Every structure is written in C-alpha cells, then in structure tokens.
C-alpha cells in the first residue's frame, strides 16, 4: 500500500512539488517500501530516531528534520541532515552554523513562520524572520543556508482561514525570494491540507498518514 499511496499523491500534484514522507515512529521496513519505488526524502521529528535510521538505512536517503529544533540536539544531526525545517530562533541559527563548521558542511534550513492562531504552534513573526534573513550577522555565516520558509496552518475545518494563512506565508516568501536567490523552498501542507497549500504556492509538502497509515505514537 505504501508504494501505491506515494504514487497516487505524486500523480495528483505538480512535478515541482517535493514530497517529504514523514516516517517518524515508522519501522525501517516501511521506509524501504517507499525507497524501493524511488522515494528518497524522509522526515523525522526526533534526532535520536533519525540518527539511528541514518545508520541502518541506505546512505542516499535525504533526511529532513521536521520537528521543533532543540539547540542541544543539533550537533547529533549535523553530519548528515539534509534540511532542518523548524528553525525559529537566532540562537539555533548560530549553533547550526557552528556545527556546520565542525563538520565542514553547509547546513540547509527553513525558518518557521508563525501563521497559525494556535498558541501551541512554534514560529517567528514575519518581522523577526525578515530581520534574521537581512541581518549582517547571518550574512557573514558560511556554514548555514536559509533556503526558505516552513509554515503550519491552524487546525481547523475552515478552508478560508487556512487559505488566508497560506497566502500570508506565500506573500512573505515572495517578498524575500525576490531579493535572495537562496530562498527557494516554501514548505506548507500536510496530509489534510496539501492541495490547498499547493494552490497557495507551496513547493514542498510533508505527508505522513496518507503514505504510511495512522501513526503509532
């Protein structure tokens, strides 16, 4: 089923949209079912679990850290992570840059923009996000590259609310990408709202349950 699920989503969306298969809590066998049909991008939300899977699974898998970034865990994923999604503080950016230096890598990340009305959602306000991007201090960092924005909409049945939130993120993305060539990823949309996210300009979606079935917490 996993292979069919990925192919169904893939056939249903534009070619330029990248699917990150959210494999957190899922066994290696499930990841390999997706891998065998050519899927390579997987997302985890715990560094320890992602590190274990990195050790055990094929080395051409592209690992995404999609959970909230804890600064004390960055050093453990710095040697191999491809994209860090949930960065929402300058403190984390400085640590990512430092760990990139230690590993002789440029670490790619996305800044999490707060678009949701929910208190529980992490993220930067738009002004704070832009302040980071256009700061001299970030400009001088050589081992981190901010590649775009990640945003999570309010958990609601109202498509109007979700659409407004996604369009707000798209407008901020457009404003920055017009002057920053590295700014190319707009990661929005999950199993329940990815069609709407793509309509609003997302080019990276994070899909878990529609690929792997309901999660085992």
Number of domains in the chain: 1
Read off the pLDDT of residues 107-133 as tens digits, 9 standing for 90 and up. 999 999 999 988 767 899 999 999 999
Tokens describing residue 78: 């710095």
Q: How far is CA 151 from the centre of its chain?
A: 9
117 domain-assigned: yes
d(C-alpha 154, C-alpha 160), whole Å: 11
Give the model's pLDDT for residue 118: 80
CB 212 within 8 A of CB 30: yes
217 domain-assigned: no
pTM for this prediction: 0.94
Give the model's pLDDT for residue 217: 45
61 domain-assigned: yes
- Better-predicted residue by pLDDT, 118 or 90: 90
- Look at the block and give the residue holding tokens 């085992």: 216
Read off the pLDDT of residues 45-83 as tens digits, 9 standing for 90 and up. 999 999 999 999 999 999 999 988 888 999 999 999 999
158 domain-assigned: yes
| Residue 24, domain CATH | 3.20.20.10
Read off the pLDDT of residues 184-200 as tens digits, 9 standing for 90 and up. 999 999 999 999 999 99
- Classify residue 200 as exposed, middle or buried by CB count within 10 Å of its CB (0-12, 13-18, 19+): buried
- Classify residue 102 as exposed, middle or buried by CB count within 10 Å of its CB (0-12, 13-18, 19+): exposed
9 domain-assigned: yes
10 domain-assigned: yes
Mean pLDDT value of segment 16-45: 97
């Amino acid at each position: 089923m996993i292979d069919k699920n990925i192919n169904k989503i893939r056939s249903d969306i534009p070619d330029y949209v990248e699917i990150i298969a959210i494999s957190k809590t899922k066994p290696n066998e499930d990841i390999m079912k997706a891998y065998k049909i050519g899927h390579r991008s997987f997302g985890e939300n715990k560094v320890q679990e992602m590190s274990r899977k990195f050790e055990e699974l094929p080395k051409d898998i592209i690992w995404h850290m999609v959970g909230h970034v804890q600064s004390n865990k960055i050093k453990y994923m710095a040697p191999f992570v491809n994209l860090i999604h949930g960065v929402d503080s300058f403190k984390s950016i400085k640590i990512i840059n430092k760990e990139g230096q230690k590993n002789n890598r440029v670490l790619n990340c996305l800044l999490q923009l707060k678009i949701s009305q929910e208190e529980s959602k992490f993220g930067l306000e738009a002004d704070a996000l832009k302040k980071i991007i256009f700061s001299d201090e970030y400009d001088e960092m050589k081992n981190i590259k901010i590649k775009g924005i990640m945003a999570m909409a309010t958990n609601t049945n109202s498509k109007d609310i979700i659409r407004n939130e996604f369009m707000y993120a798209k407008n901020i993305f457009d404003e920055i990408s017009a002057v920053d060539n590295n700014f190319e990823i707009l990661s929005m949309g999950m199993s329940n709202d990815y069609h709407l996210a793509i309509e609003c300009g997302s080019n990276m979606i994070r899909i878990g349950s529609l690929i792997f079935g309901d999660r085992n917490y």
